[in-house]
Chain A
Amino acid sequence: MLTLSLFLIPLIAGLVLLNIKNKSLASSISLVVSFIQIAVFVYAFSVFKDNSALLTFDKPWLSDFAIRFHLGLDGLSLVMVGLTVVLVAIILLAIKNLNYENIPRLLGLILLTEAALVGVFSAKDIFLFYFFFELALVPVYLIANFWGGENSSKITFKMFVYTVFGSLFMLISFVLLYMRGQSADIESIKVTVSLLPNLIKQILFWGLLLAFSIKMPIFPFHTWLPDAYSKSPTPATMLLSGLLSKMGVYGLIRILLPFAPSGVQMYGEIIIILAVVGLVYGSIIAIKQNEIKRLIAYSSFAHMGLMAGAVLTLSVTGLQGAIFQMVAHGFNAVGLFYIAKIIFDKTGSRSLTTLGGMTQSAPVLTVMFMVVLLGSVALPLTNGFVGEFLMLKAVFDFNHVIGIVAGLSVVFGAVYMLRFFQKTMYGPSNDSTINITDIGAKEMMVLVPIVIVVLLTGVFPNLILDISGSFVNSLGVLNK
């Protein structure tokens, strides 16, 4: 029941907001909804250990096909739903103070995205999973179209087609699985999957992998990403980088590993190499970027590559690291894109060549930026460090050479992030940056929670690792 309400509250609120014109009313509704969501989530979290019956909802959906509307939370789902709930609350807070037109609709669409994401992260039925997986894209597509700039329609369309194309292959795989077992339940498919003929196993692996690797994306399916992240309006970018890309990693863990274990054993190494190539490649390109949104986009891409690689090592450390990093990267990416938006709104520029010296007039922003940035470059005691360390260890254990190459990304990450920081905050100030005002309470309300999360989960990583650990240890397909 709790899971269902986590899904229904944003859905209903989102639909209501789409039909409201009054801006302040809409903002307060969205605030109330996000608080309720967090409260429900905290309650779900507290009963998670001893009363899991409260967390599941299971009703027949399409009785002729044995397809059920089955939602439930386990360790992994709980982490992801928590990320969604908190991050969407932060995004809503951030959005309502930005100068977009038609704010109520924008907030409504974000809440609809949240509903779909909760659906993805808690679905226990493959078709339900697919349903939400595609659905989450629609409101983001609309956001990017309505509030985007000149070219945004074309670019978001590219992203849309690309990812739908990928997920259609997931649909093929699901139909095949369903035909074989006459069941759409994730748990029961896990059991029957080893009995499939070899050809089907291969198709399953590649079909599912294609879907998730486009969504994340993994090299070489990343071509939609830089444009989509940099040209979309900030709300869409935050949703895409913070949450939607996590659907890909989540899919790898939830669907690909248990459904195609033999494929992962056989081809895992190739995919890990591709992922690490993407990691290094993305980092190197990020170093050369002058447009700050593009820089963050490439850094996002690099991080996703490491997560994919770590998951496919099939080790407990890799999985734990990837799950932790999903949370960490979600907050860091949203924080960075928000800061990029603040910088743009204050100076009218996104180019590193024209920015500089902002620390003179905006010291508070500098501090906030610094913390988020340090989280992103994986400094110890920030959230980025835990995930990155675990993942690099997993990749290194898997294959030393790949591990060392992947380790380069830490160096590159520090280079591009510190360059980003230096070229915006330090150096001589110029006409556009000399007279800016520092951030006020509105921005602090967004940035302070992010900073708290960055430090808190960095110092106490077990807050997350304990929950996800229960899932990882029960997964049963890992090595050793």
Chain B
Amino acid sequence: MYPIIVFSVSGLLMLYLGLSVSKKSLLPINLGFLIIGLLSNFIDWNAPGLYFNNMLEVSNTLILVQSVVILAAILVAGLSSKLFEDAIDHPAEYYALMQFAVVGALIMVSFQNLIMLFVGLEILSVALYVLAGSDKRNLRGNEASIKYFLMGAFATGILLFGIAMFYGATGSFDINSGSSVANNLPEGKIFFWIGLIFIFIGLLFKISAAPFHFWTADVYQGSPTIFTAFMATIVKTAVIFALYRLAVYSFSFEYDNWSKFLVIIIGLSMLIGNLTAVYQSNFKRILAYSSISQAGFMLLSLIGLGEQSFGNLGFYTLSYAFATISAFGVFLIVSNDQLVDGRPNENINVFNGLFKRNPDLAVILLISMLSLSGIPLTSGFWSKFFVLNDAATKGYLWILIVGIVMSAVSLYYYFKPIRATFGSTESESITVSSLAKATLYVCGAMTVLLGVAPNLFRGLF
């Protein structure tokens, strides 16, 4: 609860600081705010309950998940060092918007009332619409922003409509009220079902699960890389936990019906995400399609919906955040070093010979790709194992097989950049700012550490 307050205030402060403080000192200030927010998160440790007239829930497990969100924001901020030094960049605004987005994400993780879900989603989305288009000279960025905005607004509309239906069926916005419909007349149940489907569609759009994924690749490609990393991790984490809350509290008594549809959506996400990624040559598009398939894997926890599922999902999002942020981070550094027509080279060949140019970056990229593809010794293996295990508890054998075959397919595109790093090159070595380097080291080290000892984090749940 406290980080929501901290970031709301610090975001506003950040906007004013942009007027008076030099650009270079904005990043340390931003990091300071984020770390204060992370620490304030633990004030509520062991003080579970409902706050603000049953609007938000606080519990230890939710605090852990919120910490994952804030941690991802800190890592992304760490990567942004030396990035916004052009005259036309406005780091104060970027950092403020990132903090607001985190506020939205935190609300979405812990809402107890559907109105809060809507508010949280809007705070998160509006900030990201702006960030997606923040590179004003880039046509693709503009396209990404407008596409994201139009599609996102449409999806939010659907979500809102669903919430209205839910209210109509239950007479309350409280997420626990869903079960009261169970004994109602069938007439009311129709509205409940419309509400359920629309809420699901709205949120599945945000998490870019197939068949609601069409915006993903363009938006990921067009947005500035640093904000793509932010989007990929924070939005996914926030939305998957929002979905999870709804599935557990509001919709669980209809599990038998909606799980059949959800499992198809999961299968589609895995198939479309992985098979399309194979044909991409732009690294950001590869990661975009990979994120679609990762969304499919995360959703497996909703199929499991058991005692372990929440912790599994928490581990998955943390591991995903480390792997994705380090992948985007390495890519950001390498692509900014090699311009094509004045713009960063986003093709996969940007990694050519990276191992000779900067072995540390190559190793971090290797770890991150291994983690995303789920090879042991990285946290990605355990996260995939956990969620597949979840699905297996409910007897969905076929989705298990689809997931595993698609994991094998994903090796192909995850190894494209790895293979490129071994190639030869004439380019010179790359220098990396020390803060970005430290961030990447942390990501790589944590990926391996959680791969060897998953219980470090998994055991907290």
| A and B form one complex | yes
Interface residues of A (CB under 8 A from B): 60-65, 127, 130-132, 134-135, 138, 145-146, 153-154, 157, 160-161, 164-165, 168-169, 171-172, 175-176, 178-179
Q: Which of A157, A160, A168, A176 contacts B405 (CB 8 A)?
A: A168
Asked, given contacts A62-B454, A179-B393, whether A161 binds B376 with beta carbons under 8 Å apart, the answer is no
CB of B389 within 8 A of CB of A179, answer yes
**Contact sample, A vs B, 16 pairs, CB 8 Å cutoff:** A62-B454, A63-B455, A64-B311, A64-B455, A135-B375, A138-B375, A161-B408, A161-B412, A164-B375, A165-B405, A168-B404, A171-B385, A172-B400, A175-B389, A176-B392, A179-B392
CB of A64 within 8 A of CB of B422, answer no
State A165–B376 Cα separation when bound (angstroms): 14
Q: How many A-B residue pairs have CB under 8 A?
A: 76
> What are the residues of chain A within 8 A of B408 when measuring CB–CB?
161, 164-165, 168
Q: CB-nearest residue of chain B relative to A179?
A: B392
State A63–B58 Cα separation when bound (angstroms): 26
CB of B411 within 8 A of CB of A164, answer yes
Interface residues of B (CB under 8 A from A): 308, 311, 355, 370, 375-377, 381-382, 385, 388-389, 392-393, 397, 400-401, 404-405, 407-408, 411-412, 415, 419, 422-423, 453-455, 458-459
B445 → chain A, closest Cβ, in Å?
Answer: 12
CB of A63 within 8 A of CB of B459, answer yes
State A145–B97 Cα separation when bound (angstroms): 43
CB of A64 within 8 A of CB of B458, answer yes
Q: Is the interface of B mostly helix, strand, loop or mixed?
A: helix
A474 → chain B, closest Cβ, in Å?
Answer: 29
> What are the residues of chain B within 8 A of A134 when measuring CB–CB?
375-376, 381
State A145–B419 Cα separation when bound (angstroms): 8
State A98–B411 Cα separation when bound (angstroms): 32
B450 → chain A, closest Cβ, in Å?
Answer: 12
B64 → chain A, closest Cβ, in Å?
Answer: 14
CB of B376 within 8 A of CB of A135, answer yes
State A112–B388 Cα separation when bound (angstroms): 28
> What are the residues of chain B within 8 A of A61 when measuring CB–CB?
453-455
Asked, given contacts A130-B376, A171-B404, whether A157 binds B392 with beta carbons under 8 Å apart, the answer is no
- What are the 10 closest A-B residue pairs judged by CB atoms, nearest first? A165-B408, A131-B376, A168-B404, A134-B376, A145-B422, A135-B376, A179-B392, A153-B419, A161-B411, A175-B392
Which of A160, A165, A175 counts the most B-chain CB atoms under 10 A from its CB?
A175
State A153–B417 Cα separation when bound (angstroms): 12
Q: CB-nearest residue of chain A relative to B419?
A: A153
Which of A132, A145, A146 counts the most B-chain CB atoms under 10 A from its CB?
A145
CB of A62 within 8 A of CB of B376, answer no
> What are the residues of chain B within 8 A of A138 when measuring CB–CB?
370, 375, 377
A146 → chain B, closest Cβ, in Å?
Answer: 7
> What are the residues of chain A within 8 A of B370 when measuring CB–CB?
138
Asked, given contacts A62-B455, A169-B404, whether A131 binds B381 with beta carbons under 8 Å apart, the answer is yes
> What are the residues of chain B within 8 A of A131 when measuring CB–CB?
376-377, 381
Q: CB-nearest residue of chain A relative to B461?
A: A64
> What are the residues of chain A within 8 A of B381 when measuring CB–CB?
131, 134
Which of A63, A65, A169 counts the most B-chain CB atoms under 10 A from its CB?
A65
CB of A135 within 8 A of CB of B377, answer yes
> What are the residues of chain A within 8 A of B377 when measuring CB–CB?
131, 135, 138
State A164–B374 Cα separation when bound (angstroms): 10
Q: CB-nearest residue of chain B relative to A146?
A: B422
Q: Which of B382, B388, B419, B458 contacts A157 (CB 8 A)?
A: B419
> What are the residues of chain A within 8 A of B412 when measuring CB–CB?
161
B184 → chain A, closest Cβ, in Å?
Answer: 36
> What are the residues of chain A within 8 A of B459 when measuring CB–CB?
63-64
Q: CB-nearest residue of chain A relative to B420?
A: A153
B456 → chain A, closest Cβ, in Å?
Answer: 11
For the complex with contacts A63-B459, A172-B401, 10 further pairs of A-B residues with Cβ separation under 8 Å are A62-B455, A65-B308, A131-B376, A134-B376, A145-B419, A153-B422, A153-B423, A175-B400, A178-B389, A179-B389
State A145–B424 Cα separation when bound (angstroms): 12
State A154–B420 Cα separation when bound (angstroms): 11
State A179–B392 Cα separation when bound (angstroms): 7
> What are the residues of chain A within 8 A of B411 when measuring CB–CB?
160-161, 164-165
State A160–B416 Cα separation when bound (angstroms): 13
State A168–B411 Cα separation when bound (angstroms): 12
A191 → chain B, closest Cβ, in Å?
Answer: 21
Asked, given contacts A62-B454, A131-B376, whether A172 binds B404 with beta carbons under 8 Å apart, the answer is yes
> What are the residues of chain A within 8 A of B454 when measuring CB–CB?
61-62
